[in-house]
Amino acid sequence: MRALAVAMALAIGAGPAAVSPAHAQKTGGMPIIRDTEIEQLLRDYATPILKAAGMAKQNVKVVVLNDRAFNAFVMDGRHIFINAGALFDAKTPNEVIGVFAHETGHLAGGHLLKLREQLASAQTASIVAMLLGVGAAVAGARAGSGGGNIGAAAILAPQSAIQRSLLAYVRTQEDSADHAGAKFLQATGQSGRGMVELFKRLSSDALFNSRYIDPYMQSHPMPAERVAALNTLVKASPYFNTKDSDALQARHDMMRAKLAGFLERSDTVARRYPLGDHSLPARYARAISAYRHTDLRQAIAQIDGLIQAQPANPYFYELKGQALLEGGRATEAVAPLRQAAQLSRGAPLIQMMLAQALIGTNNAKSAEEAVALLRGALLREPEAPQAYTQLAMAYGRKGDLAQADLASAQAAFSRGDMMTARQLASRAKTRLPIGSPAWVQADDIVNLKPTNARN
């Protein structure tokens, strides 16, 4: 029913609103961005807010979506989703932190659970309204002329009222999340100025058209009202004039440059970061763009310049290794990726890329090291289909076909391809010692009930 469909869309979009930098992954058909540097920065943004909200132990993760639109939302109690577009457009760390504070307000307030309850109520009310409308139509038909029109009006009017009721409920949640977000920012000694400035920018177009908008049919408070209320709220904080540290702003600028280099066209990067800009973020963006769009040799020279400027930065070594690996030079990629893994203290995504380079050397000894790296990485990233795929290749290089089949089955399972997963697991069972841990893992996949399949 229309009221339910509208409300479900609101539940997905609650909050202000691939090719990936290091790894691409798809969840539910939507590409997400996996990158150690970006994820670490966003964790640093979100962790104090989550702690202030009493959610530090709930393992809430930030997920970056490869979408240029400005949006952020929550869909469960374990993830905050934010579009790459929001990171592009946020000029300061405080703006992103403000978004996280707002979304944490949704999580801490239990808004998703409450919205589901409201949806259930609306669905029941919608059915009753529909029945009443049908009854009115029947009564009108029996009474004579005009009965059909009366019935249609009786059906549509309650539906519209229900929709308005749900939208009003969601607007209340948004206002509540704004207040909670401001509270969390103050508790962490941070300003709410970034959240206000962000809403001001986002609302400019909406304000221009607001005279044509029915304020009772909006899922969020009207922009002018929302910005004014939020501005009053955050100005009362003693931390309103607190600014981000220079170090945090520098990391933020590097993140935006990295996203630009990987996700934008080369001419767009050139306009955004012209050759006359010698800042580190500009050089970072141009180096990434060069390896993706132009000459690998020129790109490596630029990346080497970055490494010379910051020899302890693991992400510059990671970039060099990635460029070499994707350029078909796996053997040369091993050394910088090994350095990146060491400097990042064994970041699992970097370990996966190092393992991929080792496998690409077509060396049995290197394959042995790749197996160890991938198994270690999977302990921290158990839902990584690409890691299982690489693990299968590494076992194949070693000639261990049983473990290769099992890893391939686990990769298919992680992708949701249950038919392939069962076939590969069945074959693995014939090659593994009966009752061994690997045999049990394969058997679990084979015997997984069809109701749990996602294919």
pTM, to two decimals: 0.79
Domain, as residue range, for 27: 1-243
Number of domains in the chain: 1
pLDDT bucket at 22, cuts 50 / 70 / 90: low
Give the chain's mean pLDDT. Answer: 81
Q: Give the C-alpha separation, 171 to 165, whole Å.
A: 10
Most confident of 217-221, 384-388, 406-410: 406-410
Residue 435 lies in a domain: no
Q: Give the C-alpha separation, 115 to 251, whole Å.
A: 36
Q: Is the pLDDT confidence value at 255 over 70? A: yes
Least Cα distance to 38 among 69, 74, 71, 62 occurs for: 62
Residue 147 lies in a domain: yes
Largest CA distance in the chain: 89
Confidence at residue 150, expressed as pLDDT on a 0 to 100 scale: 46
Residue 71 lies in a domain: yes
Q: Give the C-alpha separation, 329 to 299, whole Å.
A: 14
Q: Give the C-alpha separation, 407 to 248, whole Å.
A: 40
Confidence at residue 323, expressed as pLDDT on a 0 to 100 scale: 97
Residue type, 219: S
More reliable by pLDDT, 142 or 375 = 375
Residue 104 lies in a domain: yes
Residue 421 lies in a domain: no
Confidence at residue 19, expressed as pLDDT on a 0 to 100 scale: 42
Residue 302 lies in a domain: no
Q: Is the pLDDT confidence value at 159 over 80? A: no
Q: What is the mean pLDDT of residues 301-310?
A: 98
Q: Cα–Cα distances in Å, from 403 out to 341, 392, 444?
A: 25, 7, 15
Residue 395 lies in a domain: no
Residue 109 lies in a domain: yes
Q: Is the pLDDT confidence value at 127 over 70? A: no
pLDDT bucket at 121, cuts 50 / 70 / 90: low
